[in-house]
Structure 1
């Protein structure tokens, strides 16, 4: 009787269980994301607020807010889209808002020329709250409990720039159901492959025919 491979079976079972668990987690995440999108949609109609100085999570995404930039201490540039639909490079001002505290990031508009140097000294800014650029790896972002930093997209562009397009709900992906289906399929495929491998391993090998030799 063929010996049943205990350790490989345990490892394979744990891997399948992990895949199923990840699929269930993605379904739970889908429900959370749907509720979050409803909150974001409600933020569009809420009154203007002061921009939060500390990371507070995503509760205020897409809400109109204002802040005061005491001094621009630096600039960042990355791809973006203007309100007229043209693509270019949006310029993010790093602002000092007080003697202490984190730097405020303000999107001051889009330029077609990547080498454009904005001229803006600061002042009061009114716009829409959105996520600041996040350079963490995707997996690190999924399991990191620290809230993502926020920034302000200014309604009024700096001289020489076009206003950046306001963020909308389409920028909030909700692909968790497709991720869940993928994990469940991975679990099914892995199970089928392992069962077939066991059957192939336990299949008795056919004996090779004896070759008779005769001396002539």
Structure 2
């Protein structure tokens, strides 16, 4: 019986163990992501407005909630690709708001077919939904713009199960290839 090479076998075993661990890690992430998406879906149904998040932890807890901010001044006007409430493609009009405490907030003022529309808005009270970024998507829109699509957590991908299957498949493939290599080596 031919001898099994120790170092290559250890390397393959370590790689397979790592791939299996990554598969189980993705399964754990699946549970976490489903919990997070359920939290976001529940947040969408809440009508009470929350304060603007000041840090990353606050942002995660307040995503998809309604909020109100008072924009003392607006600067850095821009536009980015976006969809309106009817699902049409166009430009989401954005501005960087300075809040009363000096902090900044990115706001989506509304939607138009043209870039840089609604340029006369200089600040004021805004109501809307906190979207990832974070950014406040104004609802209702301001400056004569149309309504943007309201952020929807169902658009967040949850591919962790597919990733887990992929890692388990990689581990099985590595084992099969190594077994075939050992059989070929044994015939020589």
TM-score under structure 1 normalisation? 0.79
Q: 1:57 to 1:2 in 2, by over 3 A?
A: farther
The equivalent residue for 2:113 is 112
The CA deviation at 1:90 is: 0.9
Q: 1:197 to 1:73 in 2, by over 3 A?
A: same
The CA deviation at 1:160 is: 4.4
User: 1:21 and 2:25 equivalent?
Assistant: no
- 1-side partners of 2:145 and 2:174: how far apart? 53
Unaligned runs of 5+ in 1: 133-149, 205-216
- Aligned-residue Cα RMSD (Å) equals 1.8
1:78-157 aligned at under 5 Å gives the runs 78-98=80-100, 100-101=102-103, 103-114=104-115, 116=117, 118-132=119-133, 150-157=134-141
Task: Name the one with the larger helix percent.
Answer: 2
Deviations 1:6-51 (A, max 9, x none): 2222111111111111110111111111111221122123211122
Unaligned runs of 5+ in 2: none
User: 1:197 and 2:184 equivalent?
Assistant: no
Specify which of 156, 161, 170 is matched with residue 154 of structure 2.
Answer: 170
- 2-side partners of 1:24 and 1:90: how far apart? 39
The equivalent residue for 2:54 is 53
The CA deviation at 1:179 is: 1.1
Deviations 1:97-134 (A, max 9, x none): 13543x201111122123546321011110011101xx
Q: Is the Cα–Cα contact under 8 Å of residues 53 and 104 in structure 1 kept in the other structure?
A: no
User: 1:186 and 2:170 equivalent?
Assistant: yes
- 2-side partners of 1:75 and 1:22: how far apart? 43
Aligned length: 186
- 2-side partners of 1:75 and 1:54: how far apart? 23
TM-score under structure 2 normalisation? 0.90
